Structure 1
Amino acid sequence: MSKITGFRTLRLAERPNLIWIEITTDEGLVGLGESFRGAAAVEAVLHEQVAPLLLGQDSRRIEAVSRSLMTPYLGFHSAGAEIRAASAVDLALWDLMGQRHGIPVHEALGGALRTEIRSYNTCAGYAYNTRGTARRDIGAADQAAGPYDDQIAFMRDAGALAESLLSEGYTAMKIWPFDIYAPSTGGHMISLTDLKAGLEPFRKIRAAVGDRIEVMCELHSLFGAHSAARICHALEDYGVFWAEDPINKMDDFQALADLRRGTRTPICGSETLAGAKTFRDLLAADATDIVMLDLAWCGGLTEGRKIAALAEAHAKPLAPHDCTGPVTLMAGLHLALHAPTAIFQEVVRATLATWYRDLVTDLPVLKAGMAQAPTAPGLGTALLPELWKREDAVVREARTE
């Protein structure tokens, strides 16, 4: 038995969306997990509901723990606080599994199908998604905070940004120039003027670099079916690799399937969904071309590998999400190396170069745009010890008596 003797959680005022959990065992091991958004709510679930269930239990029984935490009386089949808490715990248990046996998580999952995987750069800025929802508007007064303030870059000169990415080995990028046009109508209408303005970054990319870079369009679940269709039809002329989360209810699989049948632009979804059953229904409805998942929201690696198996069974590519935190990114990379149909691991070069490095000991290694397989046991990263002592740290602990 590998008894769970305690766990502690950490939140930082500087990064209020993030929460980390460290689970300790009587073997002297420490497993690290993470989740994102509504961190205080997740913290409450972890300490008020999860701790009484987990303390004293065998940390090796990952599937049993997952089934227990993924089926709360309320909150199942969603990415709510209960499931985000379950996701963080699951990542920590897989980290423990790898450490216990001295192997990386991708080996613990059954082995790596590949030793590296293509990455794409989500063109966010340094503070993107730090507080509340992601900032969508870029004004004339906004100044770049550094060379990788890529959201400002794609709104102002997407062609130059594409050239910069290619020079660093990236061959794919993701942008969201239509977001700013959604609020005025709740996403239910996009005018021809706004549509043409939103297409301009795609035009500039193709004019600057031709077909040497793949481009994804993120729509952030902001649009109704009609406006999403209008955008997707317009994107067909630019060879966009996918339109991601195009409609404002990504669990409306009939509406999503109707959109997919009506456009040549491939549909990707969805980081916002959780649980294998939800993805089963998504795929059964033939509502997506590419499966995206976020391991900090969908149920962790235990649920994530089931979703990956469903994607494989439906002959759909898989692409783990990253715009959340460094631990989730490492976990997503392990799954992407293992899952047969995985095609990309998302990264944000702005965060890789800056604040992710201020939180953890190790991050994915990129060579010529390819994320390399981690070799250290477990997830292959740990929180920097000094984080627990910071003045803005909120630390809570639970231990066996």
Structure 2
Amino acid sequence: MTEIASIRTLRLDEFPNLLWVLVRDADGNEGLGETFFGARAVEAYIHETAAPKLIGKPADPEPSRVALVPYAGHQAAGAEVRGQSAIDIALWDLKGKRSGEPVWQALGGRCRETIRTYNTCAGYQYVRSAEGQTSANWGIGNRANGPYEDLEAFLTDAGALARSLLAEGISGMKIWPFDRYAERSGGQSILPAELEEGLRPFRQIRDAVGNAMDIMLEMHSLWNQPAALQIAEAVAPLGVYWIEDPVRMQGVSALADFRRRCPIRVTASETIAGRHQFRELLAADAADIIMLDLGWCGGITEGKAIAALADSWHRPIAPHDCTGPVVYAASCHLSVHAANTLIQESVRALYTGWYSEVCDGLPVVADGTVKPAEGPGLGISLKPGVLQRADASVTESR
């Protein structure tokens, strides 16, 4: 039996929302995990609570998952579950490295070589600070980073952005032009002028490329039901592929009622955690497409279980990524493994930008599809010297 010998965490001041986790076994093999938001709180949980339960125990995902089931704090993607997610991802990476096989193989094999990807139209500095999902934290306006400031692009000339994506073979794009108006009203109402302005990017895309581009509408759980329905009814004639997290995920009944009234397919939810909450979402018939974030839902172990649950309800999954390179890599392994994967999220400003500054072995995007990098485990690793950076904070439990 190979045991867990140590758990290290890494924070970088440049990316204050991200926490990387490195789990080492007694044979010297090491797996890499990651999660996003509340990095210091997750770090504290890992060293105060998780590490004492895991060190000296089997270095495998399932017994570790069982050992970390908490008495409190498991009903949402809070600090405990985010910490468990990062550890689980690291243990799957470690499992693959020990056996010399990629994670998709360790999961039971892959159903496809690549998976279709869409571009979430964020930019290089998107949600960089701890302010969270607000327009003040969109990080637009700095074109010095490169050509893909896609958030500013969809707000100014979404048609040109659509043509740029299609030129790279990417035929799906996700935008969130209504978020600013939710901030004004607290999600309670949208004014006629705001609704008209929010529709402008959709019209620009259709005028520029017709129906060659699938458009996903992200709502970030910012709206009450009447306002969300008003928006959905307005955008529906423009052929929206899905509407994502239209209302806050604080219970499935409101979302289920929304879905019954909504003229667009409903996708939910990157923000909920664990197979049990997803079972309730599915049992309530509240979503057409099941979105999960491996850094928030409990990791690859939970992701595999959620995919199987969704499949039993004849629902596809669409793994989320807009946070970090390791979760992106893990999501691509799940996407090529799970038979009911519909599409994988990618952010070209991130995988051509700062993801490549901190990690080697990123997933490979080509001709509108993505696949995991070759190699054992996740195929991704921190670049040499990242742990020694001047802005690095490393904590170890042994």
1:252 — aligned with what? 251
SS at match of 1:378: coil
Deviation at 1:135, TM superposition (A): 4.3
Choose the corresponding residue for 1:107, options 98, 105, 108.
105
1:29 — aligned with what? 29
Q: 2-side partners of 1:137 and 1:213: how far apart?
A: 28
Q: 2-side partners of 1:89 and 1:95: how far apart?
A: 10
Maintained 8 Å contact 1:245/1:268 = yes
Q: Which amino acid aligns with 1:287?
A: A
SS at match of 1:395: strand
Q: 1-side partners of 2:141 and 2:124: how far apart?
A: 13
Maintained 8 Å contact 1:138/1:155 = no
Maintained 8 Å contact 2:129/2:137 = no
Which whole-Å deviations, capped at 9, do the CAs of 1:197-238 have from their partners, x for residues lacking one?
101100000000000010100001111111001011111111
1:373–1:326 distance in 2 versus 1, CA, 3 Å: closer
Which whole-Å deviations, capped at 9, do the CAs of 1:167-206 have from their partners, x for residues lacking one?
0110100000000101121101011211111011000000
Q: 1-side partners of 2:188 and 2:63: how far apart?
A: 43
- Aligned 1:187-198 pairs, distance under 5 A: 187-198=187-198
Maintained 8 Å contact 1:129/1:323 = no
1:10 — aligned with what? 10
For structure 2, the 5+ residue unaligned runs are none
Maintained 8 Å contact 2:216/2:244 = yes
- Aligned 1:385-400 pairs, distance under 5 A: 385-399=384-398
Give the count of matched residue pairs: 395
Q: Which amino acid aligns with 1:42?
A: V
Maintained 8 Å contact 1:9/1:396 = yes
SS at match of 1:319: coil
Q: 1-side partners of 2:142 and 2:66: how far apart?
A: 47
1:220 — aligned with what? 220
Q: Which amino acid aligns with 2:179?
A: D
Deviation at 1:37, TM superposition (A): 0.2
Q: What percentage of aligned pairs have identical amino acids?
A: 50
Q: Which amino acid aligns with 1:303?
A: E
Maintained 8 Å contact 2:104/2:337 = yes
- Aligned 1:228-267 pairs, distance under 5 A: 228-247=228-247, 249-267=248-266
SS at match of 2:286: coil
Q: 1-side partners of 2:137 and 2:27: how far apart?
A: 51
Q: Which amino acid aligns with 2:342?
A: I
1:284 — aligned with what? 283
Aligned: 1:372 with 2:365: no
Q: 2-side partners of 1:201 and 1:151: how far apart?
A: 11
Which whole-Å deviations, capped at 9, do the CAs of 1:17-42 have from their partners, x for residues lacking one?
00011111112200101010000000
Which whole-Å deviations, capped at 9, do the CAs of 1:232-266 have from their partners, x for residues lacking one?
1111111111111101x213211111111112111
2:127 — aligned with what? 129
1:315 — aligned with what? 314
Deviation at 1:293, TM superposition (A): 0.3
Maintained 8 Å contact 1:19/1:36 = yes
Q: Which amino acid aligns with 1:398?
A: S
1:303 — aligned with what? 302
Deviation at 1:134, TM superposition (A): 3.4
SS at match of 1:385: coil
TM-score for both structures, normalised by structure 1: 0.96
Root-mean-square deviation (CA), in Å? 1.3
Deviation at 1:119, TM superposition (A): 0.5
Maintained 8 Å contact 1:128/1:134 = no
For structure 1, the 5+ residue unaligned runs are none
Q: 2-side partners of 1:252 and 1:85: how far apart?
A: 23
Maintained 8 Å contact 2:297/2:303 = yes
SS at match of 2:207: helix
TM-score for both structures, normalised by structure 2: 0.97
SS at match of 1:63: helix
SS at match of 1:231: helix
Choose the corresponding residue for 2:115, options 114, 117, 120.
117
